[in-house]
Chains A and B, each alone.
Chain A
Amino acid sequence: MEHLLEIDAISKHFGGLKALENVSFTMDRGEILGLIGPNGAGKTTLFNLITGRYPVTSGTIRYNGKDLSGMGPSQVAAMGIGRTFQIVRPFAGLTVITNVMIALGVSHYAGFWNSVSRYRTPASLKAARKILARVGIAGYAQQKSENLPLGLKKHLEIARALALRPSLILLDEPAGGLRKEEMDRLIGLVREINGEGTSVLVIEHNMPVVMQLCKRIVVLDHGTKIAEGPPEAIRNNRQVVEAYLGRTGDA
């Protein structure tokens, strides 16, 4: 059976800077895969390549066996890859439910008649409420999203990603900036979503969170993959330890 996501020898250069160099790994359906590495390792760049924000310099990314190269972000989103951001970016001036509605519209933005039809239908409102309830923020539906606390903004971003009906979601530091109990809620949520069949690729700096969530981890450093394997193996991998210690030594 083919893999859900196949990262095949991709490189990304910005001018002379090699943000990623010949990185390969695969992801299977139903998996939670961790992506870790020191600052500047190229993790977020990788997310931006998968989601079509930047074109790759070389290599291919396949999703469900389909080559994603040449696709723009909206096309990738429409194929069922959702993402959240390291620094949350909800549609600040809009209500929580409208935020989710926007992503629910993914199937309506293509054809003319589709996009001119009304968006507030009983069906779409119901679908949006269901997703909000799923991530536990149904009570905030009519609030302006900028007024939510950070923890709930992260839930909202996940809700927005789920509205794409994705088979893969990319989480960029979901635990970053959260208090302990917020973090626990979020981890619980990610587990549940994964249990319902959505695969998760997660960038995270908080090691306990990564170790708890992921059965398998890919480690990047300076744009290359330096290790891949289950948490215990990663924890004891010399190269990984050096990459982190070396970096903390600088600081």
Chain B
Amino acid sequence: MSAYAMTVSITIGIYVILAISLNIITGYAGQISLGHAAFFGIGAYASGMLATRLGAPFFACLPFAVVVTGAVGAILGIPCLRVKEDFLAITTMGINFVVQAIFLYIPFFGGALGIANIPAPSIHGAEMTKSAYLAMVLLFVLFAILVDGWLTRSWAGLALASIREDETAAEMSGVNITRFKVVAFVLGSAMAGLAGSLYAHFMSFISAADFGFTESIVILSMVVFGGIGTLRGPIIGAIILGLAPELFRPVLDYRTFVYGTMLVLLMRFQPQGLLGLDSFIVRNAKRIFTRRAA
């Protein structure tokens, strides 16, 4: 594998974690978030700053980032509990702008210079190679998949589904919707924080520009593109849209245009996403499969 392919793979791995984490909030619990990049950024800054300012090793920075992002997720989850649906969507978007502005304008966070020279992780004094880093990222992807699988099979996952379907009926069925919304926000944010930490130590330089509203849209598009509310959807969405910039390299100048157009067309003709429930591919795969079985 070339160094370039490894870089792309690591980036896609980080996007898969991000897409899985957003899917918990938006896909499972039904709370539209247009500000997920804020939590990605909080994780990256927490990790990067602990490493550069206090010289902490990567394996201390990563859990720190997860905890900090989860905690901020809980705190920012509180205003999000007050508002619903489209109000929530725009509130989360606002949170993204405010968090980004704080990174950019408050000197403590490095301002426009961001955080530089974030060390790569090292084991026994030896700096981790790129291939080792890729292996580690893939392990964390696996971890995220396991957490997701466990969640959807648990009573907590069922509670989230009930909130997505109908909050009032959920409450009347004994689901404490406040508690489980917070669970979704904290879990989703903490996982985004994990991705942030992986990103920071891979890039070694981060700045506010990496975590803007556009990035939130990129993550959300991945979830919706693959098929929201499923596990396979966000994974496949992150892989395809993560590869898209590389695939479209020959038509570099039209890349973003194609990206936007693709989203429009998919939503127009296949709103469940490529591999969502009831999508064209899944429907036909099921049909072929059942015909064989019969």
Direct contact of A and B (CB under 8 A): yes
Q: Which residues of chain A have a CB within 8 Å of any CB of chain B?
A: 51, 53, 72-75, 77-78, 82-83, 85, 89-94, 98, 101-103, 105-106, 108-109, 114-120, 160, 163-164
Which residue, of B153, B171, B172, has the highest number of chain A Cβ atoms within 10 A?
B172
Indicate whether A94 sits within 8 Å of B175 (C-beta atoms), given known contacts A53-B168, A117-B155, A119-B154: no
List 20 other contacts, CB 8 Å, given A53-B168, A118-B155. Answer: A73-B172, A74-B171, A82-B172, A89-B169, A91-B169, A98-B158, A102-B158, A102-B170, A102-B175, A106-B173, A108-B155, A109-B156, A109-B159, A109-B174, A115-B154, A115-B156, A115-B159, A116-B155, A116-B156, A160-B169
In chain B, positions 157-215 with a C-beta closer than 8 Å to chain A are 157-159, 161-162, 165-166, 168-180
A175–chain B nearest beta-carbon distance, Å? 20
B165 is contacted by which of A72, A85, A91 (Cβ under 8 Å)?
A91
B185 to chain A, nearest CB (A): 16
Q: B172, A119: Cβ atoms under 8 Å?
A: no
Could you tell me the distance in whole angstroms from the C-beta of A73 to the nearest C-beta in chain B?
4
Partner pick for A94 among B161, B168, B177, CB 8 A cutoff: B161
Q: Which residues of B contact A (CB under 8 A)?
A: 150, 153-159, 161-162, 165-166, 168-180
B152 to chain A, nearest CB (A): 10
Residue of A with least CB distance to B150: A116
CB–CB B171/A72 < 8 A: yes
Residues of A contacting B180 in the complex (Cβ-Cβ under 8 angstroms): 109
Q: Which of B150, B153, B162, B179 contacts A102 (CB 8 A)?
A: B162
Q: Distance (Å) between the CB of A59 and the closest chain B CB?
A: 22
A85, A90, A93 — which one has the most chain B CB atoms within 10 A of its CB?
A93
Shortest A170–chain B CB gap in Å is 9
How distant is A93 from chain B, measured CB to nearest CB, in Å? 6
| Residues in A neighbouring B178, C-beta threshold 8 A | 72
Please give, as numbers and ranges, the residues of chain B lying within 8 Å of A117 by CB-CB distance.
154-155
**A residues less than 8 Å from B154 (CB atoms):** 115-119
